Structure formats: C-alpha cells, structure tokens
Chain A
Amino acid sequence: MVGAEPAPAMSRGVQARLAEALLLTEDPSASDSLRAAEISAWYRSGGADPLAARPRARPQLPSDGPTPFWLFCVPFEDMLDSTGADPTRLPQEAVRACWRAVEGRVAAEPGETLEWGLAALAEKARLDGTDLDPAAIDVIGGRWWPIWQQSLTSAIADARAGHLEILVGRNGRKLLAEAETVAAILRLAGPIQRLKGLLGPPPIAHLSSAQKSAIRSELESLGRAHRREVWSDPRIVAHVVAQRLENPAELFVMTAQLELGAVSEHGKRLGEAREPLILARSAKQLAALDEMPPTGSAVPEIIAACEIAAGALASAAELEHHGASAAYLRELARLQEAFAQRLGTTIMPVLRAEIVAPWQDGGEDARSDAAGVLRAEAVARGLARLTRSTAPIGAETAVRPQIAALLDEIEAIVARLAEGLKAAADRGETAVGSGAALVNAVRTLELLAGSDRAHALVSTHAALLNAAWAEAERDIVV
C-alpha cells in the first residue's frame, strides 16, 4: 500500500463486510437485525467521503441455503446498501420493510412451496458440487417476483391511504419512494435477469460489442413496450444493470442515445442517481489503485486496473453531451486529475523499472532470461495500451514525458550494447549475448515508439549485428 496508515488488526473493510454478511444472512424480521445494521453503518461512517469506495452489499447466500428473502433481493442484488447514505442504492432498511409488507400478504402454502423449491435447488447444487443454477433461480423467481411486486404495490397503496404502517423506517421516515422503486424493479425482474445473465458475473470491466448489441436490442424492445405501457421504463433496467459494471457510464451513454419513450417517475428518480454512481465507481477504482503494492509481480493487475479506471473516466466524460450537471463535470475533472497524478507519480516508475529490468545487469544475459524479456515486453505492451486509453481523458500528459525518458534510456542501453559488440569485434571476439540483448531492447522500443524508430536503430547498428549473427549462425544449419 502506498502512503497509507498501518492497517488495524482487522481492517475496516473486512469488518464492514462481516457486518454485511451478518446483516444479509439473518432473518430480516428478527429483532437483532438492527444491531447488525448499526455495526455496519458504524464501520462505514468512519469519516469516509460519501463518494469513496464501498464494498457492495449483496444478498449473500445464507449458510443454510437460499431463502425466500434472498430470492426477493436477487433482481436488485447489486443495489443493496446497508448505510442508508448512498443515494444510488436501496437502503437495507427499506428492503426489509418491503419484504415484511410482502411476506404477510402472500399465502402460506405457496410460500412453503417456494421454500421446498429453493431447498431442492440447493440440494442439487450440493450434490453436483456446483453453485446454484442461475437459470433455475430465474425460473423460480419468474413465478414469484410478479406475485411479490403485486403484493408490494397494493401494500404501497394501503400505506398511502394510511392503512398500513409497515413501510416506515426507524426514525419514522416513510419508505414509500424506495418501496416503489423495489416494486418497479420487481416488475422488470425478467429483463434485468436476462441482461445479468448476458453480462456474466462481476467484475465487468467493459462491454463487448456483442454485449452492447444485446443490451441495446433488449432496451429498445422494452422502450417499444414502454411506449404502450407506462410501467416498463427501460431506464430502470439500465440503472439496475449499471450497478454491476465497472464502467456504468458506458451503459448510460448508450441508453441516452436510444429512443426509449417518456421517462417514468421511477426512471427519473433512478436517473438522478447516475452521476453519483459513476463518480463513486471511479473513486473506488482510484482507491483500489492505491491499495495495489507497487511491485513487479503486481504490474499486470496495476495495468489492468489503470485501463479500467481510464476507460470509466473516459466514458463518464461522454455524459457531458447527455445532460450531465456542472457539479458532476467538476468532480469528474478532479478525479481525472487525481488519476493522472497517480499515474505519473506511482504507476509509471513501477512500469519503467519492469521494462528496463532485463538490461539492468549489463544486459548481455538478456538472451538467457527469455522469461524476463517476455515479461518486460508484456509490460511495454501494457504501457502502450495504457497510453492510448488515457488519451481521451488527457492523462497521457502525465505519461508521455516519462515514456520519452524511458525511450531515451532504452536507446542508451542499445548504444551501450552496440559498444560492447564493437569492442568484442575489435578484439576479434564475438558477443552473441550483446547482439541478442540489443535486438530485445529494439523490440521493446518498437512497442513504445513504433517500428520506424526501432528499425532506424537496427539499421544504425546493422554492420555490428550482421557480424555477430554471422558468428552465431556459423555452426547452425539454416
């Protein structure tokens, strides 16, 4: 960890996750649920920036198998929040209230049938040694989510008429808006689950063209239905699914470009949360970069994390053309600056050290350390990729000068190796290792500066290299 305080015996994140696990696996109607929520909130409220990274609450599978409450939460599993402070999520308190409202209204017998179905599902997974079958979950859920949605809708109506007190929070706050959101999501659980199946399990760094195409057609299809029936606003689906993505802005930009019909009240409400969601996700990614150890073995993960962060920030900036607020754009600029600063000060030195590592001890042994050379080349390729992906957010200005210095360094290595070749030739000896190391350095330079500069370098030292190759290949029949 770079520049961080010493970690406590059990980190805040671990304790928060433990609290969430307690919270989500216990019976929601039990009296001690409040304690778990308080613990969780306490750990989460430790002076944290509301937009900073937070582990996401999920309806973790209870140890004794799937429960009806767990199934109820599946469509909005990525939106669960136990702090109540995150405007982009559904507060745990509201979800529990919704469940209590629904549970009391659904007849006991179908409820038992549901429990048997879930138990059978768990037993099958146990016997097969696999996870629960997502398709089977969707089949069972497909029967129950509409029932729960109808039940919740009538509970909301009763609450509005003053006949029901169950949709009220601890401090007396009415949870009707949240309950309506839950009902809207349950109504669209089918499309949501279809898209989740298409995306696969998180983390999802970016959308492939096939995924984009499938999402687009699903949203457009919903949009057509929405123009006929008000309840199927595709924006709700987009918002729920976006919670699952590392780059939610990518989906929001796509959604903004589609003709989806009039925005519903829930769609509008959730749409207001898109900016906090995007900013929170980017802040989390930047925080994750700080957590990564700046060592060679972590370089592939560091590059991947940087690419994801750069991609998310670039997509986030595209919302400028789709009604983004001034505050959002200001915060985004701040995050982009922070990313560029991290890239320049923390990440680049690590990458540079990895790239020049094969030539650190003279470099003549570079041929024997093929794995080290290939590793350095992979890092150089990653850096070249990173430079491209940071260009749309202007962060390449933090990278370019350092790459220029790195290229000078590689050219100096090539010059030193060429000197070694020349000195060996003057002595009537051959320096096969220097020739191979020189070519390896040229390949690295090619990755970062292009082939014209690299080829010019080879041409400069062609005579020396030809002599070394002639010697090296003398005893090999080619």
Chain B
Amino acid sequence: MAGLALAQAAEASRIRAFDAPRPASFAERGVAVAFTTPGLALARLRYDGRERHEIVMPNLADGRGVYVAPWASLSEIMSLTVHDRMLQQLLARDAVLDPETARRAQLRIALRGFAGADAADAAPRVLASDTRLATAVNLALMVQLIHEGGLTSAEALQAAETGRAGAEFRRALACIAERAGLAPIELADRIGALSHAVAPFGLADPRPAGRLRRLARRVGALRAALVGWARKQGGEYGDIAGLCAAAAGEAAARCGEILHGIDRRLSSPIPILRAWPRDRRFFEEAGQRLAWMLDGWKRAVVCWHEVAEATRPEQELVLAAIFRALPVLPDEADPKGAGLDLALSYRRLMRRHCRGPEPAEPAQGAAEAARRMERANLHAELL
C-alpha cells in the first residue's frame, strides 16, 4: 500500500516540471520588494521551505534563467546596501511575507531614514494618506447609509441649510441601525471597522478610490501605452512591448474582476454591517489578492512613466527591464489556464531577447544606481 502511494506520488504528472512556464503560486513567485542594491533591481524575495528568506533574481547577467540564492549568502555575490539589510531584518520578523507586509516594512525603513532624507520626509505623508483614505471611505459609507435611511440628497441639503443636519442624519442612521439590529454606537464602530478593511482599495467611482484601485487603473493605462508604443515602433521591441502590454492587461482585468466583486458586495452595506465581522475576511482576502495581482507592476508603471518623453534607446532599456521582471500571473491565480499562452509566449520571447540593450551612457557607480532605485521606489510609493 505504501509502495503504491509512493509510486503515485512519483508519477510525472504529479511532479511540477522544472521548466514550468510560470510559478505555481504567488508565494513561489516571491514579493517585489523595493530593494536599493542595484543587483536586486529585478529581484523578488520569498521564503524557502525552512522559513528562511531567499532571493529570486531573473535574468542575472543577461542569462535566460532565474537564479535563486539564500539571503544569508547573498553578500558573497554582491554588496548589499544598509537599506536592504535593515529591510530584510525587519521582514524576517514576520512569519508572513506578502506585498502588504513588505510595503509596511518598506515604509518603516524609509521613515527611519535608510531610503534617504526625502523618503523619510515622504513616509509619514504616505502613512497619513492611508489614514485619510479610511476616513474618506468612512464618510462615503455614512452618506450612503444616510440615503438608505430615507434621506434624499435634496432633503439632506435642506436639513444642512436649516441647521437640522445633525438631527436628521442621526435619525437616518438610527433607522439603519434598527434595520441592522444594532445599537447606533455599534453601527458607527462597525462602519469604522469596515472602512478600515476597505481603505486599501477604496470604493467605486465617484467615491474615494484606494491605492490598489488606483494602481490597477495605472496598470490598465500602462497596457494602453505599451500597445500604442508597440504599434508605432514595431520590431523586436514592439513584440516585447506587446507581450508586456498583454501581461498588464491580464493583471488589470483580474483586478477588475476582484474589484467588481467587492463593489457588488459593498452596494448593500447593511447586511455586511449586520453580520460584521463575518465579511472582514472577505475584504481582507480580496485586498491580499489585489495586492498580489499588482505586485511588481508599481515599478513598471513608474519606470515607463519616467521615459514617456525619452528617446527610443532609453525607452528600449526600460522596456527590457520591465520585460525581464514581468510579473506573470502564477498558476494559483489562473486555475483554468487562460493565461498559459501568455506565459509560454513570455518564455519563448525571453529565450530570444534575454540579453537587454546596452545603455547609451557608461554605467555609473553602484551608489548612483542605488540612488536612482531609491528615487524610483519613492515615486512608486507616491503614485
């Protein structure tokens, strides 16, 4: 019996092929951490099987493959910046490594000054904008509930003009609390908790959009820009731009589906509030899925934006970098295999164009490259 189980486990179909066209899961793909060591510009961080960090470096030295190195031995390959060492130390404290924990760690390291004085200045603003977004979502949900409580926009305006706004709003919210079977104070607390859970992606237009929703739009815009560039320029870089655009389009479409589900759920907030925190998990998981879908696209958006008006060789250089670190969706995000063709095309194209173009200017020192990465990371966070 045990022999049969072993034989079944060893069947080729059950073993993941070493040259699979895309990673099995987001965790296997790793997190696109905002490193500043030039050698890690395209790298991702992930846990190995023994709860230790390892780094995944695509296209190292213009090669086709993906290099995996334990973090602990990385300093034997390259000189890591103090920023990256401190960031990894902070990340190693968390058992979970995902884009959201990485973002929080990056902001904490920036706040401490390791990403430069400008990033240290900007980090509190970024964190404050997260908080402001939760407040804006809270207000937007309140307005929605006041309307659902029976107060039309015209009535709300009239109440505000005649000084009866507080009383009328309380009355409408009390009506909602009654329908939800909650005390008014409990309703306010649950709206606050829901707002906090919703803040990373925010609400549908015209209400406040969260950073993930904004980023998903940016990825959609990147897709359009790359499609335009590919049509205009053609050639081998046209093919590369076309493929990057397809990957961006796929990520944006998947994000659109997730956001659609969230928005549909939020269109009737009373059942959510009544059963809160039952749906907290739904929103948190949706946020996590969005963050994973978008992981790695932020730097692509920033890099392409920076060369929008640049010369074609400069654009090709950036396009090659985007291409080499293209965040292809893993099997986990595409169980039906709809994006498998894209992954296969990516592998084929990578075999042909794994070697990027030579930069027009001679390579400057590591310090200059690290500073450019710091600035790009800062711009990405301020998107």
A residues neighboring B (CB under 8 Å)? 206, 208-210, 366-367, 370-371, 373-374, 377, 380-381, 384-385, 388, 435-436, 439-440, 442-443, 446-447, 450-452, 454-455, 458, 465, 469, 472-473, 476-478
Contacts and interface: CB of A to CB of B under 8 A. Distances in A.
B83 to A, nearest CB: 8
Contacts of A452: 79
B117 A370 contact: yes
A465 B121 CA distance: 18
Interface in B85-105: 85-86, 104
A370 B120 contact: yes
A477 B82 contact: no
A92 to B, nearest CB: 37
A454 to B, nearest CB: 5
Contacts of A477: 127, 130-131
A370 B118 contact: yes
A439 B313 contact: no
15 contacts: A209-B358, A370-B120, A371-B117, A381-B371, A443-B82, A446-B81, A446-B82, A447-B367, A450-B79, A451-B79, A451-B82, A455-B85, A476-B124, A477-B130, A478-B111
Nearest to B134: A477
Contacts of A478: 104, 107-108, 111, 127
Contacts of B80: 451
B111 A458 contact: no
Contact of A209 (B121, B362, B365, B368): B362
B17 interface: no
Interface of B: 79-82, 85-86, 104, 107-108, 111-114, 116-118, 120-121, 124, 127, 130-131, 313, 358-362, 364-365, 367-368, 371
A472 B124 CA distance: 11
A388 B367 CA distance: 12
Contacts of B112: 435-436, 439, 465, 469
B313 A210 contact: yes
A450 B78 CA distance: 12
B117 A373 contact: yes
Contacts of A450: 79
B81 A384 contact: no
B365 A436 contact: no
B127 A439 contact: no
Nearest to A478: B108
A440 to B, nearest CB: 6
B367 A381 contact: yes
A210 B314 CA distance: 12
Given A208-B361, A210-B313, A454 B117 contact: no
A440 B113 contact: yes
A458 B116 contact: no
A370 B371 CA distance: 15
A418 to B, nearest CB: 15
Contact of A476 (B113, B114, B127, B371): B127
A472 B120 CA distance: 12
Given A384-B367, A436-B120, 13 more contacts: A206-B362, A210-B358, A371-B117, A374-B117, A388-B365, A436-B112, A439-B112, A440-B117, A443-B82, A451-B81, A455-B85, A478-B104, A478-B107
